[in-house]
Amino acid sequence: ETGVTQSPTHLIKTRGQQVTLRCSSQSGHNTVSWYQQALGQGPQFIFQYYREEENGRGNFPPRFSGLQFPNYSSELNVNALELDDSALYLCASSLGGTGSNQPQHFGDGTRLSIL
């Protein structure tokens, strides 16, 4: 089975720009979650998509937005980038959505650096 893949692996942007990160979920998974992992910290939940609908959101401003497509792949969009947005962005896919205890399978992340 194909695992979770994220692109690009590394990205450099400047303040005020916009960025789109992409994630292909593991085969058969219908749920995608996005996390932000700042250097030296644990991942922080951004939001989750289940069957193309947002299904939970963490404490992130509206300039963080997402999409899930019919094939369950997903995008994370960040507008008006700030220096503090520099982090590793992790995508995780799973099967089930709300109430599921199915494990989330993580990609290797996109390292975003803001100059």
Partner 1 sequence: AQSVTQLGSHVSVSEGALVLLRCNYSSSVPPYLFWYVQYPNQGLQLLLKYTSAATLVKGINGFEAEFKKSETSFHLTKPSAHMRDAAEYFCAVSGPSSASKIIFGSGTRLSIRP
Residues near partner 1 (CB under 8 A): 4, 31, 33, 35, 40-45, 48, 55-56, 58, 90, 92, 94, 96-109
Q: What are phi and psi of 30, to 5 degrees?
A: -115, 5
Q: How near is the Cβ of 106 to partner 1 at its closest, in Å?
A: 4
Closest CA to 93 of 32, 41, 18: 32
Q: What letter does residue 26 receive in the DSSP assignment? A: P
8 Å CB contact between 65 and 77: yes
Q: How near is the Cβ of 41 to partner 1 at its closest, in Å?
A: 6
Q: How near is the Cβ of 98 to partner 1 at its closest, in Å?
A: 5
CB closer to partner 1, 55 vs 73 = 55
Please report, as a single letter, which amino acid is at residue 59: N
CB closer to partner 1, 52 vs 58 = 58
